[in-house]
Every structure is written in structure tokens, then in C-alpha cells.
Amino acid sequence: MWFMYVLSWLSLLLQVAFVTLAIAAGLYYLAELIEEYTVATRRVIKSMIWFSSAVHLGLLLFEHFPALLVATGLFSNLVYVGLLQSFPCVVLGSSNFLLSCVLVVLNHYLAFQYFSEEFYLFSEVLAYFTFCLWLIPFAFFVSLSAGENVLPCTVQPGDDVVSNYFTKGKRGKRSGILLIFSFLKEAILPSRQKIY
């Protein structure tokens, strides 16, 4: 009896490791696709923002969600549209980006507060969180490294775009989420080196 119990825990750990590796590989592939097709990614994110806004309005009209929760979600989508103006270059210190981070936390707080008072099935709560809270910030998170491998973006007023491009450092190096995934790939699956 105990042997089977130990085997079940070992298999669970192995399955979690495989799922984690599959998610990491999927994220790496998504980040590569986003870097390659930034214009299409911008259109996809814009469509997701419109879809999320329609979902918010549907929740207000058909499910009678609180107006504050829906208004906060719609305002977040408006801020995300502002982030798309400079996409794929997202300035992490900009007021638009910082406001979107604050709104993500505020939206989660309001959603947890609402769903703790009202009963909904777990699948319904998960659907709300997926379409209204997680989808768009996740898309921006995965696309953070896309701005590093495109031609220079417009910079602060008064700066020359070309000189700013060359003074930023080496553009060949990856940073952001792709750097993390590349490091993890080398740590888990180190590449073979030729020995002479």
C-alpha cells in the first residue's frame, strides 16, 4: 500500500515538471512569434481589448455585475489602448504602464471582493478572470521583449533616434523574457561544445 502511495507522488512530481517545461516552451515560442510579427501582434492585442470590453458590457447588461467593477475593467482597457500607441516599445517607467499595473491589482481586488460575496461556479469565475483580467496583461507581458529587436522607436523629444539607438548598447543581446527563457534552456539542456 505504501509503495503505490510513494509512486503516485513521484509520478505527480514528474507530471508537474513536464507541464512546467511545456508551458515554458510554449511561452518561449510565443515570444519568438511576437518578435517576428509585431504588427500582427498589435492587431491581435487590439482585438482582445475590444473583445474584453464587449465581455465587460455583457456582464453589466446580462449578469448585473457591479458598475464599479465593470467601469474599472473598461478604464483598464482604455489604458491598454494607450499602451498600444507605442507598441512594441513599452516604456516600463511610463505613467501609462505604471497605471496599467495599478489597475491590474485594483481589478483583482474588486473581483475577489465581488466573487467572495456572490456565488458563481468555478468555471464561471475562471472565465471572468481569463477574459477580463489575465488575457491582455499576459499578452503585453509576453511581448515585452519584442521592442528590443525592432528598428529604433521614437524616443524622448529632442533626442536623435539614430544616436539613441547606437548609444543604448549592443542590440544583438536579448533581454527581458527571452533572456530568462534562454538562460533556463541552457541551464536545463546545456548545448554541446566541440572539443578540439
3-state SS of 86-100 is CCCCCCCCCHHHHHH
Contact 178, 31 (CB under 8 A): yes
Judge residue 99's burial from the number of C-beta atoms within 10 Å of its C-beta, 0-12 exposed, 13-18 middle, 19 or more buried: middle
| CA 127/CA 129 separation, integer angstroms | 6
The Cα angle at residue 176 between residues 175 and 182, in degrees rounded to 5: 70
Question: How would you write the pLDDT of the chain (196 residues) with one tens digit per residue?
Answer: 778 888 999 999 999 999 999 988 888 888 888 888 888 888 999 999 999 999 999 999 999 999 999 999 999 999 999 888 877 777 778 888 899 999 999 999 999 999 999 999 999 999 999 999 999 998 888 887 766 655 555 545 544 444 454 555 544 555 566 677 777 777 777 666 656 5
User: What pLDDT does 128 receive?
Assistant: 94
- How high is the pLDDT of residue 27? 83
pLDDT value at residue 134: 92
What is the pLDDT at residue 26?
A: 86
Peptide bond into 66 cis (omega under 30): no
Alpha helices in 64-94 (DSSP H): 67-84
**What cell does 147 get?**
521592442
Among 148, 152, 174, residue whose Cα is nearest residue 161: 152
Please choose, from the candidates 68, 79, 67, the residue with its C-alpha nearest in 3D space to the C-alpha of residue 104.
79
Length of the chain: 196
Task: Give the per-residue pLDDT at 127.
Answer: 93
Asked if residue 160 lies in contact with residue 187, where contact means CB atoms within 8 angstroms, the answer is no
Taking CA atoms, 92 is separated from 3, 30, 52, 141, 142, in Å, by 51, 21, 23, 11, 14
Query: Whole-model pTM above 0.75?
Result: no
At residue 87, the pLDDT reads 79
C-alpha cell at 120: 458563481
Let me know the angle formed at the C-alpha of 114 by 62 and 132, rounded to the nearest 5 degrees.
60
